[in-house]
A and B are shown apart, each in its own frame.
Chain A
Amino acid sequence: MLSAVSPLYSASQSRAAQNAAVLVADGIRMAFGGVVALDNVSIAVGVDELLAVIGPNGAGKTSLMNCLSGFYRPQQGEVRFNGSLLSGMGVHHIVKAGLARTFQGTHIFSNMTVIENIMVGRHIHMKSSIPSAFFYFGPCRREEIRHREVVEEIIELLEIESIRHQPVGSLGYGLRKRVDLGRALAQEPSILLMDEPMAGMNTEEKEDLARFILDVREARQIPVVLVEHDMGVVMDLADRIVVLDFGRKIAEGTPLEVQKNPAVLKAYLGEGNR
């Protein structure tokens, strides 16, 4: 069930979150040729907050996501994660610094089993060298088993025990997204970015995933940035919402504030002649 769980979010809390922000984007601009996907967008993700980014089609949500995860290099402005500048870092360094992301659609390793997929998420925490992998028995195997235990905990959290040995390519869409989330969790990130996790899901799958997102927040106490189209999900889950339209930030605030914001209503519903 998507019950209203979002805590009331006062202005003072919001300011506190700004001060202790984990991920800060400051005045970023991103243009592809003549199309300005993001124009002077600034957001800050506070500690332990669920920030949702919404907006009509083509508003620049995924571009923002790609900037935040260091995938795109914004032409202006900067993105800081825990104080360090993201641009100039290789993607795998950003991940090692503690930023994890799930994908729109499925970018899952379909030839691997569920366990192997999540084990790939443990890659950054594993150390065994190629020579020790060659001999396998000994340090390498001990490491494998140690990390396998962590993976099993994630499998339990996401309730995918029964499919753990199945190749991901044979799973349905909802389960793949769950594996994608598990893979991100295996990285033990200090922030989780989710790009349209609910896209293409039916109501039941959406409810499941929403429950898992809440479970993850409870278990890990990490901030989550959620890009999402489904308004019901966003309004129920998010602590704070940022609304984009044509690459600009047009509103920011608690779900209740955003719902009443005239600029948001205009962007979504258009202007009527009353």
Chain B
Amino acid sequence: MDPAGVFATSFERDQALIRTRGQCVALVLLFVALVILPHVLGPRLVAISTNMLIMAVVVIGLQINMGYAGQINLGQAAFMGVGAYATGALAIKFNLPFWLSIPFGGCAAAVFGFIFGLSAVRIKGFYLALTTIAAQTLFHFLILNLPQSWFGGSNGLTLEPAQIFGFSFVSETSIYYLCLAVTAAMVFGAYGIVRSRHGRAFVAVCDDDVASGLMGINVVRTKATAFLIGAFYAGIGGGLWAYYVRFVAVDQFTLFHSIWFIAMVIVGGLGSITGALIGVFVIKAIQESFVTLGPSIVAQFPSLGGDVVFAMMNVFLGGIIAAFLIFEPRGLMHRWNILKRSYRLWPFPY
């Protein structure tokens, strides 16, 4: 709901996402902050930020697939991996520039995801989750067993830095800006997709597939499309990852990563692009602060030993996810919306 005194006088205004001057200012400030960030923060924090931007693309894909279309997907890391490997192979074998290899990598992931999307046509819920785990296993199996000349097998792929007009993205700062630009474009696109007829079809299929069939929505195609878009986003994220790390290996895309992506979606809030971004930020921030805190805890309590402390970190992170599932299953975004609503209605209850 809008704050008091804000009235839409046209349909353009009424469906706009940025509705008040305050939101506009906040968005501009966020952009400025993101642009000056690498000049203010140290190299480690810039690296974490780049990581977050790449994750954001992948998790937005998962949000569209899982939060909007309601198709549980435990294979998002595999889709990301397909994108990373395809990007890497295209860049190495065919010398494609990054602005071609990343989109093609996204398309490769989209095709891979689409195949698993077809299984979502007949399978729902837990069983679909199991099927998408198959994507994860299949990805590992294929990469390790295909001829080594294709995807490097267990050696992985090593990439040259991305280049454009003679400028190469070697430094941490330059790759940060590349990721920022791509992520901004993908976030913009995601807001467009979920507001269009496709986004409504996703939510409709998730809510009630019988009724959505009778609305003229092709349920089969919609579910497969959700997987296709989700996997495309994962593939783009994978492509960025390939150019960021400049080394692609299977153990960067495990089931464990997929589960973290799901955790980010849930903590942020299902069915909200902004929620996905918040989820990435929160989970990644907690993870990284644990990694930073770990050694100092070990230093404080040497009797515990490094093994115990680092194992406990995972337990603690798992605890956070469990707490979210119990106390705030609809995520931070839901809580934020409640707060915003009650603030705008104050002092009245409704």
Instruction: Please give the residue numbers on chain A whose beta carbons come within 8 Å of chain B beta carbons, in ascending order.
Output: 69, 71, 90-92, 95-96, 100-101, 103, 107-112, 116, 119-124, 126, 128, 130, 132-137, 140-141, 144-145, 148-149, 152, 165, 183, 187
Contacts and interface: CB of A to CB of B under 8 A. Distances in A.
A144 B195 contact: yes
B207 A148 contact: no
B212 interface: yes
Nearest to A100: B214
A141 B191 CA distance: 12
B208 interface: yes
Nearest to A109: B207
Going nearest first, the 4 A-B pairs with the smallest beta carbon separation are A136-B192, A133-B196, A124-B216, A95-B216
A123 B198 CA distance: 9
Contact of B196 (A101, A128, A149, A165): A128
B203 A112 contact: yes
Given A110-B207, A135-B189, A144-B15, A120 B196 contact: no
Contacts of B214: 69, 71, 91, 95, 100-101, 107
A123 B201 contact: yes
B113 interface: no
Interface in B213-236: 213-219, 225, 229
Given A145-B11, A165-B1, A136 B215 contact: no
By CB atoms of chain B within 10 A, which of A91, A133, A137 has the most? A133
A108 B218 contact: no
B201 A120 contact: yes
B1 A130 contact: no
A38 to B, nearest CB: 20
Identify whether the interface residues of A are mostly helix, strand, loop, or mixed: helix
A41 B347 CA distance: 61
Contact of B215 (A121, A144, A152): A121
Contacts of A187: 215-216
Contact of A120 (B1, B204, B210): B204
B211 A108 contact: yes
B271 interface: yes
B138 interface: no
B122 interface: no
B197 A133 contact: yes
Contact of A119 (B14, B200, B225): B200
A134 B197 CA distance: 11
B312 to A, nearest CB: 38
Nearest to A145: B11
A103 B212 CA distance: 12
Given A136-B192, A144-B15, A107 B216 contact: no
B27 to A, nearest CB: 16
Nearest to A95: B216
Contact of A96 (B189, B192, B193, B216): B216
Contacts of B200: 112, 116, 119-120, 123
B131 to A, nearest CB: 24
Given A121-B215, A145-B11, A134 B207 contact: no
Given A107-B208, A149-B11, 9 more contacts: A92-B219, A101-B214, A121-B215, A123-B197, A133-B192, A145-B12, A148-B11, A148-B14, A187-B216
A238 B64 CA distance: 45
A52 to B, nearest CB: 21
Nearest to B218: A92
29 contacts: A71-B214, A91-B214, A92-B217, A92-B219, A95-B213, A95-B215, A101-B214, A107-B210, A109-B204, A109-B207, A109-B208, A109-B211, A111-B206, A112-B203, A116-B200, A120-B217, A121-B215, A122-B197, A123-B204, A123-B216, A124-B216, A130-B229, A132-B196, A133-B197, A136-B195, A141-B12, A144-B196, A145-B12, A148-B15
B309 to A, nearest CB: 42
A119 B11 CA distance: 13
Nearest to B210: A107
Nearest to B232: A130
A107 B192 CA distance: 27
B216 A109 contact: no
A93 B191 CA distance: 29
B218 A90 contact: yes
A122 B201 CA distance: 11
B64 to A, nearest CB: 11
Contact of A107 (B12, B197, B201, B211): B211
Interface string B14-34: 110000000000000000000
